[in-house]
C-alpha cells in the first residue's frame, strides 16, 4: 500500500511538471523563453529615393539602410557597393541604436551606371535571428541636358520661349552654359544652333570649357531687330542625353555704327522736309499732278492729300528744292484737273480717278462730295493763291482760276438747309444718307472757318457754335499727365486733330 502510494504521487508530480512545461512553451512576456524574431531590412534609400525595387534613381547623396532590430557591428565594412564587377570604396556610419546605417560612396555616382549593394556576410542581431543575405541592385538616371545660362555682357537671358530678351549687343560675344559636359566639338554644337533676324545670322563657336561655350557673330547684327534663336533637340543625340529644343527671342539694341551720316539738326530738318515734299512731287499722278492716296494706289488720287501737297510745294520753292517755274507748271496741271473733275455742289469727292476725273467711291454710300477733304484741298489752293499774289502777281490767270474754284464750293448746301451744322457727305444717289455731322474738336475745324469765310456760299457764325463747338460741348478741361486739355475728347485723340486745320489756319 505504501509503495503504491509513493508510486502514485510520483506519477502525479511528473504529470504536473509536464503540463507546466507545455504551458510555458506557449506563453510570452518577460522572463519567459520565446522564439526569436527575424532581422529584416525596413528601408533602403539613395538620398530620398527608394532602391528596394531596383529603381533607377537620381545619383545624389548617400545610401541609407534601416533594420527591424539592432545589428551587431563587427566591422567598419559590413557592406559592399560594386559596379561592373568592381568593388567601390565607401564609408559606413551607424546611428546610436545600431539599426540604421549610412553608406557614402567615396566618389560620384555615374549616370547610367548599374550598381549592386550587398552585405559582406551574415548580419547578426542581439535581438533577432540573423539575416543570412542582403543584396540590392539599382541604377542611376542619366539626367537630361539643359542650357543653364545664356549671357551677353551683363545681360542674362530669360530662358523662356515667351520672353523677349531686350537691348542685346549687336556685336559682343554670347556665352552659353550647359548643365553637363557635351563631349562634342564646337563645330558639332554650331550645327545644332540657328539664329535668324531679317536674314540668317552666321557665327562661330569656341569652347571655353566642357560646359561653357562662346558664340561670336561673324558680322554685326542689325540693331533694333528681333532675332529668333533655336538650340535644336539634335544636340541631345550628339551629347548622349535627352535635350528639349530651346527657342528664344531677343531684340538688339543700338549699334555703335551709324546707319546714316550724322548731320546737324538744321540739316536734318531740311532732309525731313525735302523727303516729305518728294512724296507729293515725285509720286504725284503723272496725268493730273494730284497726290496718290498711298504709294500703292495707282490711279486713286486724294483731294485732301493733294491740298497738303500744294502747300508743300510752296515750302519747296522757298527752300530751293524746286524752282518757281517748276511749281507753276505743276499747279497749272492740278488746277486744270480740278476744274473738270467731278464735283457735287462744288465739293470734290475724297477719292478721284487721276486719269478720268471721275469719283471713286470711298464707301458704298460715299460716292459724292466730301466737305472735309474739300476743305483741306481749298486750304492748299488758297495758300498757293496767296503765295502767287506775293511772289508772282503776274500770274493773274492762275490766281483767278483758284479764286473761281474756291468760290464754287457751296458750303451752305451742306447744312441740309437746317442751319444747325455742316454735314460731311452728299451724293446725287444717296443724298445725305450717311448723315454725319461735322463736329469738334478735331481736324475738321478748318471746314467751318472756310465755310464762314466764303464770299459766295457762307454759313452763319451760329452754325459754328451749334455745329462744330456743340454749344460748348467740345470743351474738356480735364488734366492728363499734368497738362490741361482744353478741347476735344479725353486724352486728346490722334495728332492730326491738331495738325490738318492749322496748316493754313493760325489758331492764335
Whichever domain contains 333, its CATH number is 1.50.10.140
Query: Quick one: 356 and 474 in the same domain?
Result: yes
Query: Quick one: 81 and 185 in the same domain?
Result: no
Provide mean pLDDT across the span 123-138: 96
Residue 22 domain-assigned (yes or no): no
Lowest mean pLDDT among 26-40, 190-204, 205-219: 26-40
Q: Is the pLDDT of residue 349 over 70?
A: yes
Number of domains in the chain: 3
Q: How confident is the model at residue 12 (pLDDT cuts 50, 70, 90)?
A: very low
Residue 392 domain-assigned (yes or no): yes
What pairs with residue 215 in β-bridges?
Answer: 174, 205
Residue 462 domain-assigned (yes or no): yes
Rg, the chain, Cα only? 48
Query: Quick one: 360 and 481 in the same domain?
Result: yes
Provide mean pLDDT across the span 165-177: 97
Find all residues with CB under 8 Å of 246, minimum gap 6, and list them.
147, 159, 161, 230, 231
Q: Is the pLDDT of residue 35 over 60?
A: no
Chain mean pLDDT for the chain: 92
Provide mean pLDDT across the span 209-226: 97
For 378-419, what is each residue's pLDDT tens digit? 999 999 999 999 999 999 999 999 999 999 999 999 999 998
Query: Quick one: 497 and 384 in the same domain?
Result: yes
Query: Quick one: 422 and 487 in the same domain?
Result: yes
Provide mean pLDDT across the span 258-282: 92
Q: What is the C-alpha separation between 205 and 188, in angstroms, rounded?
A: 10
Do the strands 359-360 and 100-105 form a parallel or antiparallel pair, or are they unpaired?
A: unpaired
Q: What is the C-alpha separation between 368 and 428, in angstroms, rounded?
A: 7
Query: Quick one: 348 and 223 in the same domain?
Result: no
pLDDT value of residue 4: 35
> What is the value of pTM for the model shown?
0.59
Provide mean pLDDT across the span 235-241: 92
Question: Is the peptide bond between 102 and the residue preceding it cis, with omega within 30 degrees of 0?
Answer: no
Query: Quick one: 427 and 466 in the same domain?
Result: yes
Domain boundary, last residue among 222, 252, 282: 252
Residue 479 domain-assigned (yes or no): yes
Residue 20 CA from chain centroid, whole number:
90
H or E segment to which residue 377 belongs: helix 371-391
3-state secondary structure of 76: coil
For 426-485, what is each residue's pLDDT tens digit? 999 999 999 999 999 999 999 999 999 999 999 999 999 999 999 999 999 999 999 999
Residue 160 domain-assigned (yes or no): yes
CATH of the domain at 178: 2.60.40.3710
CATH of the domain at 88: 2.60.40.1220
Provide mean pLDDT across the span 51-60: 92
Provide mean pLDDT across the span 165-185: 96
For a pLDDT cut of 70, what percent of the chain falls above it? 93
Domain boundary, last residue among 112, 140, 168: 140
pLDDT value of residue 8: 46
Residue located via cell numbers 476744274: 339
More confident residue, 21 or 169: 169
pLDDT value of residue 149: 98
Residue 8 domain-assigned (yes or no): no
Query: Quick one: 276 and 411 in the same domain?
Result: yes
Query: Quick one: 116 and 50 in the same domain?
Result: yes
Burial pattern 483-496, b for ≥16 Cβ within 10 A else e, equals eebebbeeebeeee
Query: Quick one: 273 and 367 in the same domain?
Result: yes
pLDDT value of residue 16: 45
Q: Is the pLDDT of residue 105 over 60?
A: yes
Domain boundary, last residue among 82, 117, 140: 140
Q: What is the C-alpha separation between 470 and 458, in angstroms, rounded?
A: 19
Domain that includes residue 471, residue range: 265-503
pLDDT value of residue 295: 83
Q: What is the C-alpha separation between 75 and 121, in angstroms, rounded?
A: 11
Cell of 274: 525735302
Query: Quick one: 119 and 227 in the same domain?
Result: no
Catalogue the E-assigned strands of 266-323.
300-302
Provide mean pLDDT across the span 254-268: 90
pLDDT value of residue 36: 62
Q: What is the C-alpha separation between 497 and 500, in angstroms, rounded?
A: 7
Cell of 389: 499774289
Residue 108 domain-assigned (yes or no): yes
Cell of 383: 495758300
3-state secondary structure of 254: coil
Query: Quick one: 374 and 231 in the same domain?
Result: no
Cell of 81: 557597393
Q: How confident is the model at residue 25 (pLDDT cuts 50, 70, 90)?
A: very low
Residue 11 domain-assigned (yes or no): no
Amino acid at each position: 500500500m505504501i509503495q503504491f502510494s509513493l508510486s502514485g504521487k510520483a506519477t502525479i508530480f511528473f504529470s504536473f511538471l509536464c503540463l507546466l512545461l507545455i504551458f510555458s512553451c506557449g506563453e510570452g512576456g518577460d522572463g519567459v523563453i520565446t522564439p526569436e524574431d527575424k532581422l529584416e531590412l525596413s528601408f533602403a534609400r539613395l538620398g530620398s529615393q527608394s532602391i528596394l525595387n531596383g529603381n533607377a534613381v537620381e545619383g545624389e547623396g548617400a545610401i541609407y539602410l534601416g533594420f527591424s532590430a539592432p545589428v551587431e557591428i563587427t566591422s567598419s565594412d559590413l557592406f559592399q557597393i560594386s559596379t561592373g564587377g568592381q568593388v567601390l570604396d565607401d564609408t559606413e556610419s551607424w546611428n546610436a541604436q545600431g539599426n540604421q546605417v549610412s553608406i557614402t560612396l567615396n566618389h560620384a555616382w555615374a549616370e547610367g551606371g548599374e550598381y549592386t549593394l550587398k552585405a559582406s556576410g551574415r548580419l547578426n542581431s542581439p535581438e533577432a535571428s540573423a539575416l543570412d543575405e542582403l543584396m540590392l541592385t539599382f541604377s542611376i538616371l542619366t539626367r537630361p541636358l539643359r542650357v543653364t545660362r545664356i549671357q551677353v555682357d551683363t545681360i542674362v537671358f530669360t530662358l523662356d520661349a515667351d520672353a523677349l530678351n531686350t537691348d542685346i549687343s549687336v556685336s559682343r560675344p554670347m556665352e552659353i552654359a550647359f548643365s553637363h559636359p557635351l563631349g562634342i566639338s564646337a563645330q558639332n554644337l554650331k550645327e545644332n544652333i540657328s539664329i535668324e533676324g531679317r536674314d540668317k545670322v552666321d557665327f562661330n563657336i569656341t569652347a571655353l570649357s566642357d560646359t561653357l561655350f562662346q558664340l561670336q557673330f561673324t558680322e554685326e547684327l542689325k540693331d533694333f531687330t528681333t532675332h529668333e534663336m533655336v538650340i535644336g533637340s539634335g544636340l541631345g543625340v550628339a551629347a548622349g542625353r535627352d535635350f528639349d529644343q530651346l527657342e528664344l527671342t531677343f531684340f538688339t539694341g543700338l549699334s555703335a555704327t551709324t546707319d546714316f551720316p550724322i548731320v546737324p539738326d538744321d540739316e536734318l530738318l531740311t532732309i525731313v522736309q525735302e523727303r516729305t515734299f518728294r512724296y507729293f512731287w515725285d509720286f504725284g499722278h503723272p496725268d493730273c499732278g494730284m497726290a496718290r492716296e498711298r504709294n500703292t494706289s495707282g490711279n486713286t488720287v486724294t483731294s485732301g492729300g493733294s491740298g497738303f501737297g500744294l502747300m508743300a510745294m510752296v515750302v519747296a520753292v522757298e527752300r530751293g528744292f524746286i524752282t518757281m517755274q517748276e511749281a507753276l507748271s505743276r499747279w497749272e496741271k492740278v488746277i486744270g484737273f480740278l476744274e473738270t473733275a467731278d464735283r457735287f455742289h462744288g465739293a470734290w469727292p475724297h477719292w478721284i480717278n487721276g486719269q478720268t476725273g471721275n469719283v471713286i467711291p470711298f464707301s458704298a454710300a460715299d460716292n459724292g462730295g466730301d466737305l472735309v477733304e474739300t476743305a483741306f484741298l481749298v486750304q492748299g489752293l488758297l495758300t498757293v493763291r496767296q503765295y502767287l499774289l506775293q511772289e508772282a502777281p503776274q500770274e493773274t490767270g492762275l490766281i483767278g482760276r483758284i479764286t473761281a474754284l474756291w468760290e464754287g464750293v457751296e458750303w451752305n448746301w451742306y447744312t441740309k438747309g437746317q442751319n444747325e451744322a455742316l454735314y460731311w457727305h452728299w451724293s446725287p444717289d444717296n443724298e445725305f444718307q450717311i448723315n454725319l455731322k461735322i463736329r469738334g474738336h478735331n481736324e475738321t475745324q478748318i471746314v467751318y472757318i472756310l465755310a464762314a469765310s466764303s464770299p459766295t456760299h457762307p454759313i452763319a457764325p451760329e452754325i459754328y457754335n451749334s455745329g462744330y463747338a456743340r454749344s460748348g460741348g467740345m470743351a474738356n478741361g480735364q488734366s492728363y499727365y499734368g497738362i490741361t486739355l482744353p478741347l476735344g475728347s479725353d486724352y486728346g485723340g490722334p495728332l492730326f486733330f491738331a495738325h490738318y486745320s492749322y496748316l493754313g489756319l493760325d489758331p492764335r
